[in-house]
Amino acid sequence: MESLSDKEMAPLSSLDVWEDDVLERYPEPGPAKTKEEFRKYDNAEDNPVREFYRLNHKYQTYNNVLAKKANFLSFDKKEMPWWDAMDFLNTLVDDSDPDTSLDQLQHLLQTAEAIRADGHPDWFVLTGFIHDLGKVLCLFGEPQWNVVGDTFPVGCKFSDKIVYPEFFAANPDIDDERYNTKYGVYSHQCGLDNIHMSWGHDEYLYHLTKDHLPEPALYMIRYHSFYSQHRENAYDHLLNNHDREMFKWVDKFNPYDLYSKSPKPPVVAELKPYYEDLIAKYLPKTVKL
């Protein structure tokens, strides 16, 4: 890949800009934030979300995914207790973000507390608490478009249900006969375990936790940004029956991720003992990033 400029590394002022764009595309049922309350960019050339997806769709290739897995799934960058990893994630906070004053830890606690308040199993609560930890990839030098964004399979034709599908015209896989057909390197209903998804925080955290959490939690983590499927059913031909059953859990999780943000911060000191016990129940003492 060619050398990237600072703007290509970070087209968004904050990772929350992508999340707000998702909220605008998939608004909460009932009274919700109006479009006027989101960041708006009247000039298409000044739209950072559009630029973000231009880069994402250009560079998220089959070979990119294989290279990132080879690099990051060795988990040799850092080792620390899980709670310290949450504090590490907080260094991503951008003071210029006008839509929230909450740090990453507070957002994760809000998500998890909303899940707990609804009486879900404790592993579901833990999933809400750690689901964005994969964003630490930015702290290891990954460009934003290799960390967040709607996720999708690589190695087969890109669906026109993916946001800004026109930008895939610049992706070299679109001209590669191995990857540009409906099934590409896959087969009918081969199952998502046999699919390479675009690289990002979802895929990274899945591999971090796959030996420790129940399967429904792993589906929530791995596919919560796969909007072209769980909102549009664009990749039904690759899913098997087991995937369809597990996606019911993804559907349960997503409203907590998207709609639990509140300007009222949780009291971290009061909640920390509960979440430290929850981590100890399901996860090893330290996480290798």
- 212 in a structural domain: yes
Distance (Å, whole) CA 131 – CA 196: 20
On the 0-12 / 13-18 / 19+ scale of CB atoms within 10 A, 229 is buried
- 1 in a structural domain: no
Residues of the chain with pLDDT under 50: 35-36, 38-44, 94-100
What is the pLDDT at residue 2?
A: 63
What is the pLDDT at residue 87?
A: 87
What is the pLDDT at residue 124?
A: 98
Domain that holds residue 186: 6-288
What is the pLDDT at residue 16?
A: 85
- 241 in a structural domain: yes
Note the pLDDT tens digit of each residue in 40-50. 444 445 689 99
Phi then psi for residue 287, to 5 deg, are: -115, 130
- 121 in a structural domain: yes
What is the pLDDT at residue 92?
A: 77
List b or e across 259-269, with b for residues whose CB sees 16 or more CB atoms inside 10 angstroms. bbbeeeebeee
What is the pLDDT at residue 263?
A: 66
Number of structural domains in the chain: 1
